[in-house]
Amino acid sequence: MPSRLSAGSTRSPGPQPFSSAWLAGGTEAEQPRNHARPPGWLPEGRTLNAALVVLITVATALFTLLGNRPGPTTSETPAPVPAVAAPANGADPPQVASTISQMSEVPTAVPMQATVAAPTPAPTVIAAIGAQDVNGDSPSIPTSGPLLPDYRIVTFYGHPHDPNMGIVGEYAMEDLATMIRSQADDYTAADPSRPVIPAFELIATVAQRVPGADGTYILDTDHETLKTYIDYAAEHDMLVFLDLQIGRGTVQDEIEKVRDLLALPNVHLALDPEFAVAEGEVPGEYIGSVPAESIAYAQKTLADISAEAGIPPKVLIVHQFREDMIRDKQTLEPYPGVQLVIDADGYGAPELKTAVYNFLVRDEPIEFAGVKIFFKQDVPLLTPQEILALVPPPDVIIYQ
């Protein structure tokens, strides 16, 4: 695989700094410094000093006189600043800074503590919740044809019952919808050529550190909760992505758990290879992976579901922050009836997130582009204008 992040450099002639030749050569003699001389029109030192004393005395007297003038008899009380509720700190997501150097030729199972550093929490940057209509100016979800690339999708990620797993669990559903709508409006303003559809991304199967009764290290989110969000989203022209953390299960088995929900027109799918671990590994202690053939299986299954239900093509998001998280990625191909999005996951500084996006999305064989933004861990937070300046501009933007 050719290098994607290499950059040429121009070196000055002579030995390299700190080489043996450089050390043996010693340092150059310090050149004498040319001290500045005062111009000839200035008076001699004593005269100049006396003039400076007089000026300082006069200035001090004026300052004292002005400082003792009476001020206004009334004082103004500043208007109170409305407080915006800040969500609780989330769980540690994968850190881009500690993983980009390991993206090529990395073993499948790498201990998480060796690659994930604890982030410095930052306040969630989000607009205050307003009283406007939750529908706003959001476009209606098309009833035929694919969503991409005619539309752009902005999603909020997390688990409805756990504020530590993303912003979805930090707010009531109605308030969250309003905030997503506001975020989507920012992208519409940044690029009016593409209507933006807001969405919830809900973790439907949650990877655990305990095996559970079936040994898959998976805890299923109850269908009642998922259906509540799906119904609300359908009523308000929003999408829902069901996110699957595979654990020691299989993509096939986890899809079957939510197959009935995927038959609904506004419901789509996301796969999280980070938590798909092998025998002997525990989610959260190892960074997992999925083979391209499992993603191809998901593509075919979604296409079949759409055809059987007579609904528009599905969108499939696959999260990735290390190259080895998708094995044999180069074999992935577009599949009729489903749209594949590779999401550049992980948090970090803007320069690093851009480098990872270029590595995993721009320079890889992908169909549609996605990027994940972390409200607390991305410092500073990329603006919609900066995100859309990525090449190619993301089709899906996920906020956690």
The CATH number given to whatever domain includes residue 286 is 3.20.20
Give the number of other CB atoms < 10 A from CB of residue 122. 15
Q: What per-residue confidence (pLDDT) applies to 126? A: 53
Enter the tokens of residue 11: 């070196």
Burial class (CB in 10 A: 0-12, 13-18, 19+), 223: middle
Region of 145 please: left (phi>0), alpha (psi -120 to 50) or beta: left
pLDDT of residue 95: 52
Which amino acid makes up residue 113?
Q
- Domain contains 143: no
Distance, CA of 339 to CA of 356 (rounded, Å): 22
The reply to whether 34 falls in a domain is no
Which parts of the chain have pLDDT scores under 70? 1-138
Residue 192's pLDDT is 97
CA 196 to chain centre: 18
Number of domains the chain contains = 1
Beta strands 368-373 and 338-344 are parallel
Residue 82 lies in a domain: no
Number of Cβ within 10 Å of residue 134's Cβ equals: 21
> Tokens for 68?
């003792």
Would residue 37 count as lying in a domain?
A: no
Helix (H, G, I), strand (E, B) or coil at 73: coil
* 1 belongs to a structural domain: no
CA atoms within 13 A on the CB side of 216: 17
Residue with tokens 């959260």: 284
Q: Is 234 a member of any domain?
A: yes
pLDDT at 38: 41
Predicted TM-score (pTM) of the model is 0.70
Give the Cα separation of 398 and 157 in Å (integer): 7
Cβ atoms of 331 and 292 within 8 Å: the answer is yes
Range of the domain at 377: 96-122+148-399
Q: At what angle do helices 173-190 and 223-235 cross, to 10 degrees?
A: 50
pLDDT, position 138: 67
Backbone angles phi, psi at 104, to 5 degrees: -110, 135
Q: What CA–CA distance (Å, rounded) separates 167 from 165?
A: 7
Tell me the two tokens of residue 115: 């690659």
Q: Which residues pair with 339 in a beta bridge?
A: 315
pLDDT of residue 139: 82
Residue type, 389: A
Task: Count CB atoms within 10 A of the CB of residue 4.
Answer: 14
